[in-house]
Amino acid sequence: MIIERRKIFYIISLILIIPGIASLFLNGLNLGIDFRGGSIVHVKMAADVSAPEVREALVPVGLEQSEVQKNIDNTYFIRTSELDQEQTKALINALETRFGEVELMSAESVGATIGRELGLNALMALGIGLVLMLVYISFRFEWTFGVAAVLALMHNVLVVVGVFSIFQWEINSPFIASILTVVGFTLNDTIVVFDRVRENMRSTKKPDYLTLLNKSILQVLNRSINTVLTAVMTLVALLILGGATLKFFVAAMLIGFVVGAYSSICIASPLWYEIKKAA
């Protein structure tokens, strides 16, 4: 059964988490301009050109290291160091010289100080969310359920952040939104399991927690699998058809939802068993 194999699941989780933590220390995160500061210039061109060609056209203005994302409608997002109005105009002129007509759709800049503040606020939002969840679950169930649920959520967040660190995928504001979505989705999945455990405990005078957990998990297993499969199919479609701007946002949710479905069954429940046994 599931709880009897909990040590195997702990090992699997360590295999998922440890490389990510090592990468965080060695490589850090690839912070987008939302956090490190910089500019995003959104342009539309009459010519159909590739991202490398756009970077090559920016050599005369010293911006060849810019990140360029191409969309299917000949629009491009150019992420670069912070630009003032004159530098933005020079960028547009360089593109017009190489490719002809260029329409400036938007130009946004974020200062480094504001970027650091956004990063701190994002961490604070996640921390406050976890604390409030711990308090709420402890109030509605009992503190052992709250601790197990929050530890499972931290497990999910570490896996997602670790994957982004290993592959050096960009971390930006949509990534924070995706992490909070993952936290909410996977917490709901965990609560479904714990609610069934609580119901089964009420009907048993002297519960055998091992048997009780296995029974409860099996009762909700189909529901958990069907829920995550429905979400995953939608996210895969978005990943394939959503374009470059949605790619990392969807990838974070896809990883988080799959890991969350695993953790709600194979991590949160065994952790509750360990805490209950030690309490």
pLDDT, one tens digit per residue, over 17-39 is 999 999 999 988 888 777 777 78
Range of the domain at 155: 3-32+114-278
**Of the residues 51, 83, 110, the one at which a domain ends:** 110
Q: For residue 247, what is the domain's CATH number? A: 1.20.1640.10
Same domain, 94 and 50: yes
Domain count, the chain: 2
Per-residue confidence (pLDDT) for residue 101, from 0 to 100? 84
Query: What token pair was written down for 186?
Result: 């996977």
Per-residue confidence (pLDDT) for residue 245, from 0 to 100? 67
**Of the residues 94, 110, 126, the one at which a domain ends:** 110
Same domain, 106 and 130: no
Give the residue from 99, 46, 45, 39 showing the smallest Cα distance to 76: 45
**Of the residues 81, 110, 139, the one at which a domain ends:** 110
Same domain, 134 and 105: no
Query: What token pair was written down for 56?
Result: 């090559």
Same domain, 263 and 130: yes
Per-residue confidence (pLDDT) for residue 14, from 0 to 100? 95
Same domain, 106 and 118: no
pLDDT < 50 positions in the chain? none
Q: What is the pTM of this model?
A: 0.80
Same domain, 223 and 197: yes
Same domain, 149 and 23: yes
Same domain, 149 and 163: yes
Per-residue confidence (pLDDT) for residue 59, from 0 to 100? 86
Same domain, 165 and 201: yes
